[in-house]
Structure 1
Amino acid sequence: MNRTWIFIPGNQTKHIDKAPTLSADNIIFDLEDSVASEEKEGARLKIKKAINELDTKARKFVRVNEINSPYFLDDISAVVSQKLDGLFIPKVNGKENIQLTEYLIAQFEARNNVETGSISLVPLIETGKGLLHAYEIAKASDRIETLAFGAEDFMLDMNIPKDEGNALLMARSNLVMTSNAAGIQPPIDAVYTDIHHEDGLQQATKEAKELGFQGKLIIHPKQLEVVNNIFLPTESELRKARKIVEAYEASRQNGIGAIQVDGKMIDVPVAERAKRLLENVSV
């Protein structure tokens, strides 16, 4: 499952060393916002070492600096290796950003004896332009695994003062629909920045799940348990899904279409959602 995606500052050795102990599905070693300019080079070396030496159950990603920055090329050159699962690309505004990134990754894969195409890409949608071109971005490369939403930068770009009420509902829903249309995995929802407000995190995570996101970006280990638990189906949901799938498969074998389970009509979309839930849990 891909419920939790936690950022770890690339210049903080003590946090990097704790990565194997975290209950995250994915670790994102960060070279962008959490690392000051004068510490970029040292952070690259720390992250490269972590990618190659840390033994984690979680997949290993790196958020590089944005494409137009003076750090982007050096970031990719430093971290592309056989044990890197993917790159987060910030502030992607169009397909040309992905095409350039893909070209560069391919060069360093060849140079470093990394299997061609093995490193996936996660574009961060953080601007109005990026959201407008999200479908083109999602279709720009076979490396695209999913899209991620950067709410804080999006609000700055769109002049939205606070994430209150339905301020970001359109953008978030649009990203879910776009991902579906592009045939990629559901997107990842933005970070919840108030690390001391667990009730707020629970509400934001439930909303993300209901909107169709597959998981959430995280900035502190204390947020992991909440997000993991909310995106994990309850035992009641699993029992219901198994019951629906079993009944529907039996009805198909007997040449029956729509059926009822516990008094509710079960047709193809309902059965397929139940199947998907069970498949995702088994991954």
Structure 2
Amino acid sequence: MSVSDFRPRRSVLFMPASNARALEKAKTLACDAVIFDLEDAVSPDAKEEAREQAVATIKFGEYGHRERIIRINGLNTDWWQDDLVAAASVKPDAILVPKIETANDVKAIAGALLAQGDMDTAIWAMMETPLGFLNAQEIVGASERLKCVVIGTNDLVKDLGASHTPSREPVITALGLAMLAARTRDITILDGVYNDFKNTEGLHAECEQAKAMGFDGKTLIHPSQIETANNVFAPSIEEVAFAERMISAFDKAKADGKGVAVLDGKMIEELHVEQARKIKAAAEAIADIGG
């Protein structure tokens, strides 16, 4: 992803598409993206209604800067094809597919979208099973339409027979594998949800951990979590100021015919400036949406 293509995805909120009031409320929330969920948050007897409401929401809803993503049901269900056909008819910003485990899963979705004449809708893939994480590299390389990886830690913890811990040590290897794979193509990677939505301190700590690992943002299950995610995953005033100083120092050094610069006693090379430009671009993009 080039600096000019940067799009904030600090806070990506799951909303059950069967809940019309929730969909309406999402228009007023400060999240960067909304996932209209047809899968886990929707009971089997409400799948059709949720699908219809998601389509109507994409077609007629006013969501401003917020990206609009439809999470369809998994490829192992009887619903996913109808979900995909419905989604392709209104072309959301992306289709999120749960429990992606192989490159063929991604290719199946890409092929199905093409069959519907949809050339534009991005694919987002959820990695949430042991096999999915083990196949992370082939998954991210399966299609140019794959633009984002979303971590599903709840299913992973269940499949491992592990426990949710504050350090997330039981799943840290899987998170690292997904991160490495995503960065081979420089695509967005979003951390999994934090279940205890009333525990702001715990959420903040997990967001800080995810940011330190390199995640671009966090998926959320409740509007009360948006502010914390937005604050943590946005560059701080201090980070932006230092990035601007770094860029200025390096540009001056280049103008003087030098390949490196020195700032506050530290050597500045092109790789440092590249990261500084990303920080500045993120801050500008967030400012553009009123963040």
Which residue number corresponds to residue 75 of structure 1?
83
Question: What is the CA deviation profile of residues 40-96 of structure 1, one whole-angstrom value per residue up to 9, with x for unaligned ones?
Answer: 001111111100011112011011110010111111112213441111100000011
Query: TM-score, normalising length from structure 1?
Result: 0.94
Partner-residue secondary structure (3-state), 2:146: coil
Within the candidate set 6, 9, 14, 2:16 is matched to 9
Tell me the equivalent position of 1:170.
Answer: 173
Structure 2 CA distance, aligned partners of 1:244 and 1:161? 42
Q: Is the 2:16–2:38 Cα contact (8 Å) retained in structure 1?
A: yes
Could you say what secondary structure the match of 2:83 adopts? helix
Pairing partner for 1:46 from 53, 56, 72: 53
Q: Which amino acid aligns with 1:227?
A: A
Confirm or deny: 8 A CA contact 1:117 1:143 kept in the other structure: no
Counterpart of 2:25 in structure 1 is 18
Q: Distance in 2 between matches of 1:278 and 1:256?
A: 23
Spell out, residue by residue over 1:202-256, the C-alpha distance to the aligned partner (whole angstroms, 9 max, x if none): 0000010000000000010010000001111111111100000011011012111
Contact 2:35 2:71 in 1 (8 A): yes
Q: Distance in 2 between matches of 1:184 and 1:97?
A: 20
The SS at the match of 2:30 is coil
Match of 1:276, SS state, is helix
Q: Counterpart amino acid of 1:2?
A: R
Instruction: Report how far residue 163 of structure 1 moved.
Output: 3.2
Question: Is the partner of 2:35 in helix, strand or coil?
Answer: strand
Unaligned runs of 5+ in 2: 1-7, 286-291
Q: How far off is 1:268 after superposition?
A: 2.0
Is the aligned partner of 1:90 residue 2:98? yes
What is the aligned counterpart of 1:180 among 160, 180, 183? 183
Task: Decide whether the 8 Å contact of 1:138 with 1:184 is kept in 2.
Answer: no
| Paired amino acid for 2:275 | R
Deviations 1:258-282 (A, max 9, x none): 2221222212221111111112223
Asked if 1:35 corresponds to 2:42, the answer is: yes
State the identity %.
28
Aligned residues of 1:2 and 1:25 also touching (Cα < 8 A): yes
2:71–2:96: 8 Å Cα contact kept in structure 1? yes
Partner of residue 248, structure 1: 250
Give, in whole Å, the separation in 2 of the partners of 1:188 and 1:94: 19
- Consecutive unaligned residues of structure 1, counting only runs of 5 or more, are 111-115
| Cross-structure match for 1:198 | 200
2:219 aligns with 217
Question: What is the rounded CA distance, in whole Å, between the counterparts of 1:59 and 1:164 in structure 2?
Answer: 30
SS at match of 2:14: strand
C-alpha separation in 2, matches of 1:210 and 1:255: 34
- Structure 1 CA distance for aligned equivalents of residues 133 and 172 of structure 2: 13
CA shift at 1:191, angstroms? 0.3
Contact 1:94–1:133 (Cα < 8 Å) also in 2: yes
Tell me, in whole angstroms, the C-alpha distance in 2 between the residues paired with 1:38 and 1:273: 48
Please identify runs of 4+ aligned residues in structure 1 that moved more than 3 A: none
Question: Take 1:44 and 1:267, find their aligned partners in 2: how far apart are those partners?
Answer: 50
What CA distance in whole angstroms lies between the structure 1 residues aligned with 2:46 and 2:105? 25
The count of corresponding residues between Structure 1 and Structure 2 is 276
54-63 or 267-276: which moved more? 267-276
What residue in structure 2 maps to residue 234 of structure 1? 236
Partner SS state of residue 117, structure 1: coil
**In angstroms, what is the RMSD of aligned CA positions?**
1.2
| TM-score (norm: length of structure 2) | 0.92
Match of 2:114 in 1: 106
